[in-house]
Amino acid sequence: MTDTNSLRPALVAAAQQLGLSLSDSQIEQLLAYQGLIQKWNKVYNLTAVRDPQAMLTQHLVDSLSLLPALLRHAEGRPLRLMDVGSGGGLPGVVVAICAPQIDVTCVDAVAKKASFIKQVAAELGLKNLHGEHSRVEALEVPPFDLITSRAFASLLDFTSLTRQHLKPRAESGAKSGAIWLAMKGQHPAEELAALPPDLDVFHVEQLQVPGLDAQRCLIWIKPRA
Ligand SMILES: C[S@@+](CC[C@H](N)C(=O)[O-])C[C@H]1O[C@@H](n2cnc3c(N)ncnc32)[C@H](O)[C@@H]1O
């Protein structure tokens, strides 16, 4: 596996800044995951970012910034999460490593990317990580408590393409019912305005990504009761 040891201090510092208490083995798994991305990037076409330090900040730490909100929401419950348009597994693989009680399914329309997720799950021994090759709108799987996306589509496409995959409120383990969580850059005012009235954007949360001088936010959405 590609050596990512030199990235450890920056990763540990970023996790601390985010208030995450990750175990040594979770740090090892995150570094091993980045090692797999670096090793297989050319074969699987996972990211245009090649520099390891930039990859750590722009992909792994950026995805890690979702974790405090996600853990707060999960409150230790064993939830099922779909990460749609997951590509090389961002943020899905990072969630699977850092929140073992969350069962993560990464969905991508490109076969090679879903194969990479399966390979990561096998190599890192992540039983709570699954890869599905499908366009999300054609996928047939049991519904989820949470659906995430990062750099996938407009909020309208994200919610309309995945709506059938949200658990009905009565079946969801979460107090608020099943929800969408979209990772976005700048506050997406136009995309928010385009959402239909039967969706409730109940929180827009600013995210701080350690080492990244860029705007990030998290959009929390649920169907209106
Ligand atoms: C820009 S990439 C983002 C990948 C990853 N989430 C990230 O942040 O690096 C968008 C991904 O969405 C996938 N995709 C696009 N339309 C899709 C669909 N309808 N169903 C599933 N995946 C889709 C593409 O194959 C691509 O891998």
List C-alpha distances in Å: 33 to 55, 71, 117, 180.
11, 21, 10, 25
Ligand 1, atom 12, lies closest to the CA of: 85
- What residue segments make up the domains of the chain, in order of their start? 65-223
For atom 7 of ligand 1, the residue with the nearest CA is: 90
Q: Tell me what pLDDT residue 174 has.
A: 66
Residue 204 tokens, joined: 């827009």
Answer CATH for 65-223 from 3.40.50.670, 3.20.20.140, 3.30.420.40, 3.40.50.150: 3.40.50.150
Positive or negative torsion for Cα 205, 169, 90, 162: negative
Residues contacting residue 121 through CB under 8 Å, at least 6 positions apart = 96, 127, 129, 130, 131
State which of 47, 82, 152 you would mutate to test the pocket of ligand 1, scoring each by most atoms of that ligand within 8 A of its C-beta: 152
- What angle is formed at CA 74 by the lines to CA 135 and CA 117, rounded to 5 degrees? 35
In this predicted structure, what is the pLDDT of residue 177? 87
Q: For the segment 32-73, what is each residue's pLDDT rounded down to a tens digit?
A: 999 999 999 989 989 999 999 999 999 999 999 999 999 999
Q: Whose CA is nearest to atom 3 of ligand 1?
A: 151
Residue 104's beta-bridge partner residues? 81, 129
Written as one string, the DSSP assignment of 51-113 is SHHHHIIIIIIHHHTTHHHHHHHHTT---EEEEET-TTTTTHHHHHHH-TTSEEEEEESSHHH
Complex prediction ipTM = 0.99
Q: Which residues of the chain have pLDDT under 70?
A: 1-2, 173-175
216 annotated as belonging to a binding site for a ligand: no
